[in-house]
């Protein structure tokens, strides 16, 4: 029992099972973060004075290390997946709020005027005009949030087997089996790459007017986002 795919029984999941749990623990928080960030960004754009304090609060939350966040939450939510997912959702805000707010704000005034002239109310205009035009920026934010979320789930292993593939890393340490750590690192990396590719595909589907050909400028917009929100 010391092969690359011999997952110790105490993890109570097969390799594929761990992947499923990992995706759930990493992606649900990003989805929740998106749902939270959409109205927050709308408010920030409507009331400009709100933007700096919202960014400040998310930045401070982001500065709290994930493990400490998990441990403090245990008192309320127990040693569960939820304890891992709440901080990840909050972390995603630091990227998503500025991504959406700035993306939406970059919509030209004449486009907005055109929508208003067509009889769009503010909510409908936000949902049907501003958000779609901001889609590339939003997806860029989602890519950063997803990559970081997939990596951070692993730390959940330290609060009692709540880290999906991270549990495999902890098991590698506990049973002194480096091949398990290699498996977990590689699998996590592949998941991150695949999710990223899926988001790029999503962006293409959402923005059919943008040129399809040519190489995707993968890195640039994401990095700008990370640094803009003063993220870690």
Partner 1 sequence: MTSTAKSSRSRTRHHGAAAVALAAAAALLTGCSSGDTSDNPLDGDKAEAGTVVVGSNNFAESTLLADIYGEALRAKGLKVSYKHNIGSRETTYGLMKNGSVTVLPEYNGSLLAYLDEKAEQTSADAVNEAVKAKLDKQLTLLESSPAEDKDSVALNAATAKKYGLTAESTLADLKEAAPELVIGGSPEFQTRQQGLKGLEAVYGLTFKSFKALDAGGPLTQAALAQNEVQAADVFTTDPTILKEKFVVLKDPENLFGYANVTPLVRKDGLPQEGVEALNAVSAKLDTKTLLDLDAQVQLEKKDPLDVAKAWLKSAGLV
Partner 2 sequence: MNVLNFVQAFFSDSAHWHGYDGIPSRFLEHVRYTLLALAVAAAIGLPVGLLTGHTGRGGNAIAVVANAARALPSFGLLVLSVLLIGFGLLPVMIPLVVLAVPPILVTTYEAVRTVDPAPVDAARGMGMPESGVLFRVEVPVALPLILSGLRSAAVQIVSTATIAAYVSLGGLGRYVIDGLYQRNYEKVVGGATLVAVLALITLALFRAVERFAVSPGVRRR
Binding mask 114-133 for partner 1 (x = CB under 8 A): ----x---------xx--xx
* 28 lies in the binding site for partner 1 (CB under 8 A): yes
- 14 or 179: CB nearest partner 2: 179
Site for partner 2 in 45-104 (CB under 8 A): 59-60, 62-69, 71-72, 75
Helix (H/G/I), strand (E/B), else coil: 229 = coil
Q: Report d(CA 5, CA 183) in Å as an integer.
A: 8
By CB under 8 A, the count of residues binding partner 2 is 54
- 57 or 202: CB nearest partner 1: 202
First to last CA, the chain: 40
Neighbours of 107 (CB within 10 A): 18
* 31 lies in the binding site for partner 1 (CB under 8 A): yes
Backbone angle region of 207, left / alpha / beta, with phi > 0 → left and psi within -120 to 50 → alpha: beta
Q: Report d(CA 24, CA 96) in Å as an integer.
A: 19
* 189 lies in the binding site for partner 2 (CB under 8 A): yes
Q: Which residues of this protein are in contact with partner 2, per CB under 8 A?
A: 59-60, 62-69, 71-72, 75, 147, 150-151, 154-155, 157-159, 163, 165-166, 169-170, 172-173, 176-178, 181-182, 184-185, 188-190, 192-193, 196, 215, 217-220, 223-224, 226-228, 230-232
């Amino acid at each position: 029992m010391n092969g690359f795919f011999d997952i110790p029984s105490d993890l109570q999941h097969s390799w594929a099972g761990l992947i499923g749990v990992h995706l759930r623990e990493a992606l649900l928080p990003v989805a929740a973060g998106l749902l939270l960030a959409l109205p927050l960004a709308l408010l920030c754009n409507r009331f400009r004075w709100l933007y700096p304090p919202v960014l400040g609060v998310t930045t401070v939350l982001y500065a709290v290390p994930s493990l400490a966040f998990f441990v403090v939450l245990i008192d309320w939510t127990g040693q569960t997946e939820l304890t891992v997912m709440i901080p990840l959702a909050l972390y995603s805000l630091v990227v998503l709020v500025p991504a959406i707010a700035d993306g939406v704000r970059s919509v030209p005034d004449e486009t907005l005027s055109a929508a208003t002239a067509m009889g769009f109310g503010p909510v409908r205009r936000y949902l049907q005009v501003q958000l779609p035009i901001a889609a590339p920026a939003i997806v860029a934010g989602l890519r950063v949030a997803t990559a970081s979320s997939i990596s951070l789930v692993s730390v959940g292993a330290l609060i009692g087997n709540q880290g999906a593939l991270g549990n495999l890393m902890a098991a590698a340490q506990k049973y002194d089996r480096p091949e398990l750590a290699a498996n977990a690192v590689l699998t996590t990396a592949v998941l991150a790459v695949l999710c990223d590719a899926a988001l790029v595909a999503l962006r293409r589907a959402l923005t059919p007017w943008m040129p399809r050909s040519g190489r995707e400028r993968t890195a640039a917009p994401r990095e700008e986002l990370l640094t803009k929100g003063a993220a870690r």
